[in-house]
Amino acid sequence: MGEVTLKKALVTGITGQDGSYLTEFLLGKGYEVHGIIRRSSNFNTQRLEHIYIDPHNSGARMKLHYGDLTDASVLRKWIDSICPDEVYNLGAQSHVGVSFENPDYTADVVATGALRLLEAVRTHIMTTGRHIKYYQAGSSEMYGATPPPQDENTVFHPRSPYAVSKVAAHWYTVNYREAYGLFACNGILFNHESPRRGENFVTRKITRAVGRIKIGLQKKLFLGNLKASRDWGFAGDYVEAMWLMLQQENPDDYVVATEDSHTVEEFLEEAFGYVNLNWKDHVEIDPRYFRPAEVDNLRGSAAKAKKALGWTPKVSFKQLVAMMVESDLERAKREKVLADNGYIDSHQQP
């Protein structure tokens, strides 16, 4: 019998929250997964450590390659050498607040980076005649000031350099689909969290603080706008929707959301309440965390994804918060042991 050819996926942003969950999912489906990572003097692959197998082993189906969305030549090089069946563009400067501080870089990576990758896919297809399916990671931040519920036909009104850049990436994807016939999909994903969420995102910032406060490593948590309302789901659920989009007969754009929204204050109540603490005893408002333009309320309508993809979220808001608090509580306990024995400075906040 001949050797079975595995489907190949190329993932930008593989070291991020979504990249790690998507890689797990694709490996479970029997894919060979290639990830593009940026060179760093510090290891930035912690979210992949539990699934990493040394490439010298014959069973390794996840492979990492150095590259960057700001470098068109390296994107084309890896697409030509890997010959992926599917490309998932998850790479981004993905922090809304930071995008106000670094707008040029955010636009270069998020907007023009998507264009570079689309062009690399297009020219590869044109040269080789191969078929590649492309997924663009959109964001509910694109809706910005437009009131909820938001679906695929809702007008975009972005309120940050990050959101504006994502809108550009969205329309580049639509343009390449319409102009060149690319199988290119936009997934407009509403906020999705997990224990792997970056620690400077508000949900993870809260659950990290809950663990540290409960264990005695921290006393205060400083936050900005507590009235902002978001549609929060579990990242592990959402990566399945990404894959499902590329398994359809025709490319299209889909909103992925729980259709349920909660304020930051409600997240605080749920997280602190889980460990029998009152958030009002520990949270202080710091004006530096307010943004030049706020997004008040995001709540998605995922009817199209449910009907066309058969996708529904599995993890509820309460389950999500509990999962994140449990994980950060265990982390805080390990930190406490190290701090008590002088191995680390606990970096105690006021």
Query: Which residues does the annotation mark as catalytic?
Result: 139, 141, 162
Cβ distance 159 to 295 under 8 Å? Answer: yes
Cβ distance 126 to 105 under 8 Å? Answer: no
User: Rounded to an integer, what distance in angstroms lies between the CA atom of residue 259 and that of residue 149?
Assistant: 8
**By C-alpha distance, which of 174, 169, 330, 304 is closest to 251?**
174
Query: What is the three-class DSSP state of 145?
Result: coil
Tokens of 18: 């979504």
Cβ distance 192 to 204 under 8 Å? Answer: no
Query: What is the three-class DSSP state of 39?
Result: coil
Tokens of 216: 């005695």
Angle formed by the axes of helices 202-215 and 264-274, nearest 10°: 30
Report how far Cα 30 is from the mean position of its chain's Cα atoms: 22
